[in-house]
Amino acid sequence: MKIKKSTGERIFDTFNILFFFTFSLATFYPFWHEVCISFSDKVNALRGGIFLWPRGFNVEAYKLVLSSQYLITAFTNSLFITVLGVIISVMLGAGVAYLVSKKHLPGHKFLNMFIIISIIFNGGIIPTYLIVKGTGLVDSLWALIVLAACTPFNVVIMKNFFQNLPSSLEESALMDGASPLLIFFRIVLPLSKPVLATVSIWVAVSQWNDYMRGLIYLTDRSNYILPVLIRDIINGQSDVAGQEVMSESSTETVKAATIIIALVPILMVYPFLQKHFTKGIMLGAVKG
């Protein structure tokens, strides 16, 4: 039987729909605005204003940007630190999280407290830079990978997930003669796909958009990542963006095309992991 809603409930539902529709539109429009500019011709792009669709459809900006060796190099570098960063960060974080999830482990409380403290406090930019410089990683892509190798917050999320796995599975495996390492790789990790997918998305987005670290630790143009290259294009540093790009096309269309190209990889990956992402958030947030 359908329950008739009161006037107040209908007003409330209408307000919610309008509010979230407006909020979604305000969130989506900046992306759509850049898409429209990137596909517009250079004359119409310079006119400015609100873009609801491309003005004078043109793909010249994409041809010019994709032909720039600087963008290819930056894209390759970003892909390298993202893929390798995700693998190292997830595997190392999962290993640490699995250890601290065991309450019988000596020093269990101290290790958990140490992880919590490291979430709240950090060494700061200058001490971190001095350490990176001392290890010879300045102007190296490995600086961006190593600094994100094990994030305390991700460890906490994975630890909570591991604590909610049935302990009987591990006990049965131990009785059958399986080693802790075998249990971790053959039982725990396969059952942890939701939280691993969640953390993988976080790390991938963080690494792909790692602007501050790229700006601080990378100076050689051959080591530039996409966020740093986009900064130089927006600032009009044509020698970095490619002299042939900036001289043949509107600066605005080049900026927009570069931004869209940088966003596409993350937008392509997320839909395939969305189911695991949502499940991992819910399960990993439960305190064991």
pLDDT digits (tens, 9 = 90+) for 20-30: 999 998 988 98
* Average pLDDT estimate for 270-275: 69
The ranges assigned to domains in the chain are 7-61, 63-284
Q: Is the pLDDT of residue 11 over 60?
A: yes
Mean pLDDT, the chain, rounded, equals 82
C-beta neighbour count of 140 within 10 angstroms: 16
Confidence label for 263 from pLDDT (cuts 50, 70 and 90): confident
pLDDT at 237: 61
Amino acid letter, residue 211: Y
Q: Give pTM, 2 decimals.
A: 0.78
Q: Which residue has the higher pLDDT, 284 or 172?
A: 172
- CA 273 to CA 98: how far, in whole Å? 22
pLDDT at position 282, please? 55
Is residue 54's pLDDT more than 50? yes
Q: Kindly report, residue by residue over 61-106, the tens digit of the pLDDT.
A: 888 888 878 888 888 999 999 999 999 999 999 999 988 888 877 8
Question: Tens digits of per-residue pLDDT, 173-219?
Answer: 888 888 888 888 888 888 888 888 888 888 988 899 888 998 899 98
pLDDT value of position 64: 80
Superfamily of domain 63-284: MetI-like (1.10.3720.10)
Q: Is the pLDDT of residue 284 over 50?
A: no
Please give the Cα distance from 71 to 188 (Å, whole number).
Answer: 40
Cα separation, 229 vs 215, whole angstroms: 10
Per-residue b or e along 93-127, where b marks 16 or more CB atoms closer than 10 Å to that residue's CB? bbebbbbbbeeeeeeeeebbeebeeeeeeeeeeee
